[in-house]
């Protein structure tokens, strides 16, 4: 080897703090397009939505008679959350002669937002994206925080990027057309936010459960606002999930395994609900028994019509196998987010994700079977 | 519309300054793997290279007898710089059970670096990448600065991301196996760096042209170092190309059009050389005539065996059309980077990219035909 090694440092400069706004209201979709065009007059919009949103009339409400280049994901749903959908979107943008001065507008649920956000992140090294979430899950969760991604033919979320939205617009009126099962399952993410960070919010949920099930729009606005406030606090502190942001994963570790083992027959929210109860069982075995939160969480999930046990058809060994492959696993076994009390996540020595033995997890799963 | 609009700001925190090291030497490839494993012991490596590099023996030199999961791009070259190659790489990483604790090692020229860097940028929301460039172009230019990207079926560089490397290792000995035409054309990026930022470096090139053509390794190390120093200064000041970084585009606007119109028969460096001469003609028409730089640049390009005229087969109207579609065009016409004198880029009112009328550009092109 040469004795004459030269070294040179390339500085990557600091990036200043920035911010984006979430606007929450009801019935604003029909006036939003004008606002977007006024606010970003120099950018050429491209809309990404799905066949269900078109059918429900929301694209028409947004655009009125305007004709805007767009891509309608078909079929709607997880099955289209694939890298080839992103490739098709980018190629459609190019066919519309869109360049770096374009802005992607995502109208839809979490799947549409993940696909559109990722397409925006990688189109010509990145263009801005506006998120208009239209489901309880996406209004509570996936439209805020900048996580985007799609599946490969080998596994879920193989591709992705952190890509913060330019703005988020939440119109709770779009929830009125949402299928009832989707509507209720999506509220589990709200219960999750309450459980990990805000006891008052949890009590608001308990008190207003009938208004929530009746889709009372004033209550839904309050829920949308509180969800976004909690999520914004967490992601602002830790945008790329080095530590605190992991608390948003509460209920998700076992939830993801259950969702996947069910072949996505169970919805994301339904699976996360089961995961929250499993976390409660783990807490009990570890002696984190400050209050009767597990009973209250279970009660609330039951009122939302959520399953609170694991269907017997889901083999426990399969769940263990899926937990070993969890994308956040360290040494082939995931860490778990646990509660200390209702509204407070358990933190030990600065860490939010905790080691729990496979034996303990297996015992808790055993208790959860129907 | 509801009167009760709620707003909420989500902060996206600042990102601190960081840095990565470029290490330059000769004959270090054979000892590099141990260094990489020592420096990133917790990360699982995945190598991306191409069939030519394997044939030239460089993968074997890097790895010795070690077996490491890898992807060999085949065929080598621009034709494989396509999104589907990136999809295949990510799926291969998944089949090797690689997760977020992986590190991509790119061994090859600019095409390999672009593909591997982009795959790293989007694999599970991003994993680090080490660049080991093996050509004159990539050692001078594309391995530093974090631009990555690939083509779609519709156009070039449709997909991309800014993704800074974790480290860059340049072994000039890898240039010894490089095809002579590629070797010489790649040096045009070095001449470009000299022309825009460093008159002394330009004179070093003029003085040492024979040693350069003879692939004298001591001279090549000095060239690699100076290129990286210049590029590092520029990209450190403006990593996402808002202004200063555009000077690296000197010779590239017309160069890209010529390269594309030739159906990539002309190499990138050959085309950029023609673009530099075209820029010189524009400078003369705009009265930027401080020195005899155009003659000196032309002379140096001739000694490198570069074409200095546009082949008659390339239709001028086709070039104009391509210029209109330039990805940096503003209102369907690109801006141009020009020299003020040898080693100094022309800057006016803080702007480095200048408006030049289509008429002026056409007249300059006319003068450039064989």
**Nearest-by-CA chain B residue for A230:** B10
Does any CB of chain B come closer than 8 Å to the CB of residue A154?
yes
Please tell me the distance in Å from A197's CA to the nearest CA on chain B: 17
Tell me whether residue A183 is exposed, middle or buried, using C-beta atoms within 10 angstroms of its C-beta: 0 to 12, 13 to 18, 19 or more: buried
Q: Measured between alpha carbons, how far is residue B189 from residues A261, B251, B269, B271, B286 in Å?
A: 54, 9, 7, 11, 24
Domains parsed from chain B with CATH numbers: 21-178 (3.40.50.1970), 192-236+243-368 (1.20.1090.10)
Cβ atoms of B10 and B22 closer than 8 Å: no
| Nearest of B35, B189, B138 to residue A1 by alpha carbon | B35
Distance from C-alpha of A32 to C-alpha of B34, rounded to nearest angstrom: 57
User: How big is the A-B interface in CB pairs under 8 Å?
Assistant: 222
The answer to whether B5 contacts A25, with C-beta atoms less than 8 Å apart, is yes
Active-site residue, selected from the candidate residues B82, B222, B245, B293: B245
Residues of chain A in contact with residue B164, where contact means CB-CB under 8 angstroms, are 10, 12
The answer to whether B24 contacts A17, with C-beta atoms less than 8 Å apart, is no
DSSP-derived secondary structure for B228-244: HHHHHHHHHH-TT-SSG
What does DSSP say about strands B18-25 and A6-12: parallel, antiparallel, or unpaired?
A: antiparallel
Taking chain B (370 residues) in runs of 10, the rounded mean pLDDT of each run is 78 91 96 96 97 97 96 94 98 94 96 97 97 95 89 92 96 96 97 98 98 96 95 87 91 96 94 98 94 97 97 95 84 92 96 96 95
pTM of the complete model? 0.93
Please tell me the distance in Å from B302's CA to the nearest CA on chain A: 30
Note the pLDDT tens digit of each residue in A203-230: 999 999 999 999 999 999 999 999 999 9
The answer to whether A160 contacts B124, with C-beta atoms less than 8 Å apart, is yes
Residues of chain A in contact with residue B10, where contact means CB-CB under 8 angstroms, are 19-22, 144-145, 164, 168, 228, 232, 235-236
Cβ atoms of B120 and B163 closer than 8 Å: yes
Q: How many CA atoms lie within 13 A of A78 on its CB side?
A: 12
Does any CB of chain A come closer than 8 Å to the CB of residue B191?
no
Distance from C-alpha of B243 to C-alpha of B351, rounded to nearest angstrom: 7
pLDDT band at A346 (very low <50, low <70, confident <90, very high): very high
Note the pLDDT tens digit of each residue in A110-157: 999 999 999 999 999 999 999 999 999 999 987 888 999 999 999 888
Sign of the CA dihedral A98, A99, A105, A106?
Answer: positive
| Res B145: pLDDT | 86
Residues of chain B in contact with residue A242, where contact means CB-CB under 8 angstroms, are none
**Nearest-by-CA chain B residue for A114:** B125
Cβ atoms of B128 and B120 closer than 8 Å: yes
Distance from C-alpha of A224 to C-alpha of A208, rounded to nearest angstrom: 14
- Identify the residue whose tokens are 């945008």: A239
**Nearest-by-CA chain A residue for B225:** A6
Cβ atoms of A307 and A277 closer than 8 Å: no
Cβ atoms of B309 and B369 closer than 8 Å: yes
Note the pLDDT tens digit of each residue in A231-268: 999 988 888 888 899 999 999 999 999 999 999 899 99
Interface of A with B in 169-188 (CB under 8 A): none
Mean pLDDT confidence for A24-49: 96
Does any CB of chain B come closer than 8 Å to the CB of residue A216?
no
| Res A176: pLDDT | 97
The answer to whether A6 contacts B90, with C-beta atoms less than 8 Å apart, is no
Please tell me the distance in Å from A244's CA to the nearest CA on chain B: 14
Please tell me the distance in Å from A2's CA to the nearest CA on chain B: 6
The answer to whether B23 contacts A6, with C-beta atoms less than 8 Å apart, is yes
Tell me whether residue B32 is exposed, middle or buried, using C-beta atoms within 10 angstroms of its C-beta: 0 to 12, 13 to 18, 19 or more: buried
B268 is catalytic: yes
Distance from C-alpha of A158 to C-alpha of A90, rounded to nearest angstrom: 18
| Res B13: pLDDT | 86
Asked whether the predicted pLDDT for residue A2 surpasses 60, the reply is: no
Which of A125, A128, A233 to probe by mutation at the B interface, max B CB count within 10 Å? A125
Does any CB of chain A come closer than 8 Å to the CB of residue B42?
no
B26 is catalytic: no
Cβ atoms of A73 and A50 closer than 8 Å: yes
B245 is catalytic: yes
| Res B329: pLDDT | 75
Residues of chain B in contact with residue A71, where contact means CB-CB under 8 angstroms, are none
Mean pLDDT, chain A, whole residue set: 94
| Nearest of B262, B112, B110, B296 to residue B189 by alpha carbon | B110
The answer to whether A225 contacts B164, with C-beta atoms less than 8 Å apart, is no
The answer to whether B125 contacts A149, with C-beta atoms less than 8 Å apart, is yes
Q: Give the distance, in angstroms, between the CA of residue B10 and the centroid of all CA atoms in the same chain.
A: 36
Does any CB of chain B come closer than 8 Å to the CB of residue A2?
yes
Q: Which H/E stretch holds residue B340?
A: strand B339-341
Note the pLDDT tens digit of each residue in A25-35: 999 999 999 99
Asked whether the predicted pLDDT for residue A361 surpasses 80, the reply is: yes
| Res A283: pLDDT | 97
Q: Give the dihedral of Cα atoms B329, B330, B334, B338; nearest 10 deg.
A: -120
Cβ atoms of A57 and A87 closer than 8 Å: no
Least CB-CB distance to B161: which of A23, A125, A239?
A: A125
Residues of chain B in contact with residue A90, where contact means CB-CB under 8 angstroms, are 83, 152, 158-159
Active-site residue, selected from the candidate residues B92, B241, B299, B362: B241
Residues of chain A in contact with residue B168, where contact means CB-CB under 8 angstroms, are 10
Distance from C-alpha of A101 to C-alpha of A41, rounded to nearest angstrom: 10
Q: Give the distance, in angstroms, between the CA of residue A238 and the centroid of all CA atoms in the same chain.
A: 16
**Nearest-by-CA chain B residue for A158:** B124
Least CB-CB distance to B90: which of A5, A146, A152?
A: A152
């Amino acid at each position: 080897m040469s004795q004459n090694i030269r070294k040179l440092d390339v500085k990557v400069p600091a990036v200043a703090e920035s911010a984006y706004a979430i606007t929450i209201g009801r019935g604003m979709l029909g006036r939003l397009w004008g606002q977007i065009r006024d606010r970003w007059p120099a950018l050429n919009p491209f809309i990404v939505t799905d066949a269900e949103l078109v059918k429900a009339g929301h694209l028409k409400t947004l655009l009125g008679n305007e004709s805007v280049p767009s891509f309608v994901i078909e079929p709607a749903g997880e099955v289209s959350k694939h890298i080839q959908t992103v490739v098709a979107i980018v190629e459609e943008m190019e066919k519309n002669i869109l360049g770096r001065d374009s802005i992607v507008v995502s109208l839809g649920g979490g799947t549409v937002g993940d696909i559109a956000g990722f397409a925006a992140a990688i189109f010509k090294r990145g263009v801005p994206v506006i998120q208009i979430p239209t489901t309880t899950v996406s209004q509570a969760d996936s439209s805020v925080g900048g996580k985007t991604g799609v599946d490969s033919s080998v596994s879920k979320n193989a591709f992705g990027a952190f890509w913060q939205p330019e703005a988020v617009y939440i119109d709770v009126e779009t929830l009125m057309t949402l299928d009832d099962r989707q509507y209720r399952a999506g509220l589990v993410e709200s219960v999750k936010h309450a459980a990990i960070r805000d006891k008052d919010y949890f009590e608001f949920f308990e008190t207003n459960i009938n208004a929530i099930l009746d889709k009372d729009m004033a209550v839904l606005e309050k829920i949308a606002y509180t969800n976004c406030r909690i999520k914004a606090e967490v992601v602002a502190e830790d945008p790329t999930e080095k530590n605190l942001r992991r608390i948003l994963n509460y209920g998700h570790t076992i939830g993801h395994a259950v969702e996947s083992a069910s072949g996505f027959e169970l919805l994301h929210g339904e699976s996360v609900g089961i995961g929250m109860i499993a976390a409660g069982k783990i807490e009990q075995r570890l002696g984190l028994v400050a209050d009767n939160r597990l009973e209250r969480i279970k009660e609330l999930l039951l009122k939302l019509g959520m399953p609170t046990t694991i269907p017997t058809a889901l083999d426990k060994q399969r769940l263990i196998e899926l937990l070993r492959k969890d994308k956040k696993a360290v040494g082939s076994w995931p860490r778990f987010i646990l509660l200390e009390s209702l509204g407070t996540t358990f933190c030990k020595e600065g860490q939010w994700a905790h080691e729990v033995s496979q034996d303990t997890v297996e015992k808790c799963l055993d208790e959860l079977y129907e």
